[in-house]
């Protein structure tokens, strides 16, 4: 498979530098990744560096814990789109999920999806599957499927457990087919990346994108995939 086409090449650490964003975007141009995912202050720079390519600029909203209120997430989304973001990865309010406040989840993501789609952009909803029970993950699928989000995303990378093939399989079994799945968190090699794609992921959020692509090339040379 052309694994590069699945990858959101990502850097989201708090002390990310301009040089690191320049390197990230240069690699994205070279390997033709699907997108870069950068902190909100770097949206404009990434967009400028990727001008003339097919690589999208993604950013995060309510990151990493998701417990900002809806108005704050809406303001973040408006600012991100104004700065040039193509795709917005929004963290759900995990506190409300754990409290069983499913109406909050539905209304928050409905409002954000409506706005983001109105602006012609993509919304990926991060549910932090590693700290949800299977029942909670299925409930997220049941509630967010009818909202018509573009992607459900496994993880922020900040919880104790990131992406898993099991979580991707559960999502794929309980989401409408037109809603895509992004796996992220702890994807560091081609073998795991390929397993996630085979489980149903159509995007991969990775900081190790270059190593993953090189791993695919090496695997192809020895006939592993």
Positions annotated as catalytic residues are 89, 153, 182
Torsion of CA 14, 133, 183, 77, to 10 degrees: -50
Tokens of 187: 């994807």
Q: What is the DSSP string of 172-206?
A: HHHS-TTSEEEEESS--SHHHHHHHHHHT-SEEEE
- 24-80-58-160 Cα dihedral, nearest 10 degrees: 90
DSSP letter for 150, please. Answer: S
- Distance in angstroms (rounded) separating the CA atoms of residues 103 and 37: 29
206, 186 Cβ separation under 8 angstroms = no
């Amino acid at each position: 498979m052309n694994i590069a086409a699945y990858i959101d090449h990502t850097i989201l650490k708090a002390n990310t530098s301009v040089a690191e964003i320049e390197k990230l975007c240069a690699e994205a141009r070279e390997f033709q990744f699907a997108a870069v995912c950068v902190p909100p202050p770097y949206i404009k720079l990434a967009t400028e560096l990727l001008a003339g390519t097919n690589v999208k600029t993604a950013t995060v909203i309510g990151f990493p814990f998701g417990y900002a209120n809806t108005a704050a997430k809406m303001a973040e989304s408006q600012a991100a789109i104004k700065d040039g973001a193509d795709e917005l990865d929004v963290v759900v309010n995990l506190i409300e999920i754990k409290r069983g406040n499913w109406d909050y989840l539905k209304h928050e993501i409905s409002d954000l999806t409506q706005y983001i789609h109105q602006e012609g952009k993509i919304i990926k909803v991060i549910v932090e599957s590693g700290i949800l029970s299977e029942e909670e993950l299925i409930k997220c699928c049941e509630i967010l499927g009818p909202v018509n989000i573009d992607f459900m995303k496994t993880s922020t990378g900040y919880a104790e457990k990131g992406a898993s093939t099991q979580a991707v399989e559960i999502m794929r079994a309980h989401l409408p087919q037109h809603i895509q799945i992004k796996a992220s968190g702890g994807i560091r090699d081609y073998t795991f990346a390929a397993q996630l794609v085979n489980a149903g992921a159509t995007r991969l959020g990775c900081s190790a994108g270059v190593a993953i692509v090189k791993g695919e090339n090496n695997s192809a040379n020895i006939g592993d995939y």
